[in-house]
Amino acid sequence: MFKRKGWLLLIIIVIFFIGGSWGIKEYYYGGETYYTQITTDGTKQVDKDTEGKSYVSYQYDLPAYDQAGHQKKVSFNSAKSSRLQKQAYLELKVNDRKGVMSWQKVDKADLPKAAEKALAKQLNR
C-alpha cells in the first residue's frame, strides 16, 4: 500500500514538473504564427557587437496576418548585412511579450488563404 502511494506521488510530481516546464517554455519562447510580405527596403541600422565590431542589419515594420486574417503590426530585424528580397513572403513566430522571435521565407502557395487574401488586399491600397 505504501509503495503504491509513493509511486503515485512520484508520478504526480513528475507530471507537474513536466507540465510546468512546458508552460514556462511556451510563455517565454512560444508564439503564434503570422505571415507578411516584404514591401519596403527596411531601415538600415549600424550597431556594434560586444567586441566593438560594426555590423549592419535592416529593420522592418510591417503588418502581419494570422491564419484567420487578423492583422498585427510587427517589427523585426533582418540580421543580415543585405536587405530582404522585396515581395518575399515570410512566416513569423510572434511572442506577445518579446515580439518577433524568428522568421523564415515561405512560398506564396504555403500561405493560409485568409492571410494571403489580407496581404493582397493590403497591397491594393
Rounded to whole angstroms, how far apart are CA atoms 40 and 59? 10
Rounded to whole angstroms, how far apart are CA atoms 27 and 29? 6
CATH 3.90.850.10 fits 31-123, yes or no: no
pLDDT at 98 over 90: no
The predicted pLDDT at position 56 comes to 87
Residue, of 12 and 107, whose pLDDT is higher: 107
- In whole angstroms, how large is the CA radius of gyration of the chain? 21
pLDDT at 3 over 80: no
Q: What is the dihedral of CA 90, 94, 98, 99, to 10 degrees?
A: 50
Give the domain ranges of the chain.
Answer: 1-30, 31-123
Classified as helix, coil or strand, 54 is strand
Rounded to whole angstroms, how far apart are CA atoms 44 and 85? 14
The predicted pLDDT at position 47 comes to 85
pLDDT at 106 over 70: yes
Strands 54-65 and 99-106: unpaired
pLDDT at 10 over 90: no
Q: Which of 7-11, 23-27, 54-58, 95-99 has the lowest mean pLDDT?
A: 23-27
Cβ partners under 8 Å of residue 28, min gap 6? 95, 97, 98
The predicted pLDDT at position 125 comes to 57
pTM above 0.85, yes or no: no
Instruction: Read off φ and ψ for residue 100, nearest 5 degrees.
Output: -75, 120
Read off the pLDDT band of 34 (50, 70, 90). Answer: very high
pLDDT at 124 over 80: no
The closest alpha carbon to 25, from 76, 95, 74, belongs to: 95
